[in-house]
Amino acid sequence: MKQLLTTICAIILLFISPLLLPLSAFADTYGSGTYGNCDYNTGCTSSSSNSNPVSSAVSAATNTISAFFCSAQAPSSAPNLYEIDVTSTTAKVFFSPAGGPYDQHYISYGQGNNSEGYGIDLNTSQTSGALFYVIEQLSPSTVYTFKVRGGNGCKAGPWSNTVIIQTLGSRSRATKKFYPNSQAQYVQAPAASWWTQASNAVKDLLPGAPNTGLGAPKQHASPVSHGSSASQHTVTSSSSSPSLWGSVTNFFSGIFHAL
């Protein structure tokens, strides 16, 4: 009986889990590039990596179901994210692998100081060297935050340190290196004061000033007698200034016309 209930629960989860998956499960398809491992003596070897939206969704659903029955051992330590080489639209991420056991690594990144939003899932075998991955299709002159973690089957390991980078300008052909002790600075714009927010809200609710049809004050030249040269001064015509009652009438008239 217990085995029957377990089977029924697994079938139900298989159908409803795609509706419960976090958005990060579908972020595996963002970007493209190559990954491989690096050895300080022999250099780097790379292989192509392709992402498929359907296979990623199925894989994520399978991992969600397996998590309920998972007996795998999680990676013993976090990877070390130690360098990111940046161009205008790419970021080459270098990291030492997580502590074993592991069979995959996940690179997570987002814009600004958000390290989540997009991601790349890599199937990686045990290696003594470092790993790298080239992420493409980034926006020029944009700040991104990266982090990495390892995984073993259905068990995920701890996250690595984060590194903040900024892609170069769209016309740049150079490459810039970022390290944990030399990162890009992300400065978030300060929020408007409560008075400014309240003032903007009131302006949005109230109509604009009504058009009274009155012109601007006129300037009049008044000559000075006794043979001296004429000087010019400004006189505001009393006829051009509306009365208090006229101003109030025009204001409410404008509100009724606006309605």
Strands 176-178 and 43-49: unpaired
Number of helices and strands (H, E) in the chain? 4, 13
Q: For residue 2, report the phi and psi dihedrals to the nearest 5 degrees.
A: -60, -40
- Domain 28-49+73-178 superfamily per CATH: Immunoglobulins (2.60.40.10)
3-class secondary structure, 203: helix
Q: Which residues pair with 146 in a beta bridge?
A: 109, 163
Q: What pLDDT, in 10s, does the model give residues 218-246?
A: 555 555 555 544 444 444 444 445 566 66
* pLDDT tens-digit series, residues 79-126: 999 999 999 999 999 999 999 999 999 999 999 999 999 999 999 988
Q: Which two tokens stand for residue 44?
A: 């780097």
181 class by beta-carbon count within 10 Å (0-12 exposed, 13-18 middle, 19+ buried)? exposed
pLDDT in tens, 10-62: 666 655 544 443 333 323 333 444 455 554 344 455 444 444 555 556 666 66
* Residue 232, H or E segment: strand 231-233
Rounded to two decimals, the pTM is 0.55
| Alpha-carbon torsion (228, 230, 231, 233), positive or negative | positive
How far apart CA 54 and CA 122 sit, in angstroms, is 16
Is the separation of the CB atoms in 153 and 72 below 8 Å?
A: yes
Domain borders along the chain are 28-49+73-178
- Give, as one character, the DSSP assignment of residue 153: T
DSSP 191: P
